[in-house]
Amino acid sequence: MGLDNIALNNGWSQALLGASIVMTGLVILSIAISQIHKLVDFWEKRGQKAEPEPATAPAGTATTVSGLTLEVPDQCPADINQVADLYRPIVAQLGTTFELRELYQRAAQFDLPHPHFTIKCLRDAHILIPQGDGFFSWNQ
């Protein structure tokens, strides 16, 4: 008698619809709660004015070590020849043959980006030529 009346009066579909409505409401509520931090940030910053961005971003920073000033870019150039141009003044101070560790130290002093990877690429491009016993020479 009970289950037959439920089936006769579309009770199963109403129960399924009710459960779907409740689950949809819970999903919407959980999404709203997870995004409330954005609403709070917006509310706290409503009286503040946005700071204007600088007209031009600096291309890099100039670093001076031992009387040598070097313009260091924020990002390392992708072209190996441009990287070699960046390292050329440092190598000129080191002399015709130098130890690789000295080049690493100088690159770190000037805060050049990715010195280990860059020097490896310079070696692979045959710009840094090994002379033996840890000494190298510049090929450009």
Residues 23 and 78 in one domain: no
Residues 71 and 130 in one domain: yes
Asked whether the beta carbons of 122 and 83 are under 8 A apart, the reply is: yes
Higher per-residue confidence, 27 vs 82 = 27
| Residue 56 pLDDT level (bands cut at 50, 70, 90) | very low
Residues 64 and 35 in one domain: no
pLDDT of residue 29: 97
Is there a domain that residue 52 lies in?
no
Residue 74 CA to residue 91 CA, distance in Å, equals: 21
Residues 72 and 130 in one domain: yes
Residues 117 and 89 in one domain: yes
pLDDT of residue 31: 95
Q: Over the stretch 104-133, which tens digit does the pLDDT of each residue have?
A: 888 888 777 777 877 888 888 888 888 888
Residues 27 and 76 in one domain: no
Residues 69 and 101 in one domain: yes
Name the token pair of 39: 């609403």
Report residue 7: phi and psi, to 5°: -65, -40
Is there a domain that residue 55 lies in?
no
Residues 12 and 79 in one domain: no
Residues 100 and 134 in one domain: yes
127 lies in which domain range? 60-138
pLDDT of residue 30: 97
Categorise residue 17: left if φ over 0, alpha if ψ from -120 to 50, beta otherwise: alpha
Asked whether the beta carbons of 71 and 113 are under 8 A apart, the reply is: no
Residue 95 CA to residue 138 CA, distance in Å, equals: 9
Burial class (CB in 10 A: 0-12, 13-18, 19+), 103: buried
Residues 98 and 123 in one domain: yes
Is there a domain that residue 35 lies in?
yes
- What's the length of the chain? 140
Q: How far is C-alpha 113 from the chain's CA centre?
A: 13
Given 3-state DSSP classes, what are the helix, strand and coil percentages for the chain, each rounded to the nearest 5?
55, 15, 30
CATH code: domain of residue 102: 1.10.10
In the chain, the number of structural domains is 2
Give the mean pLDDT of 25-40.
Answer: 94
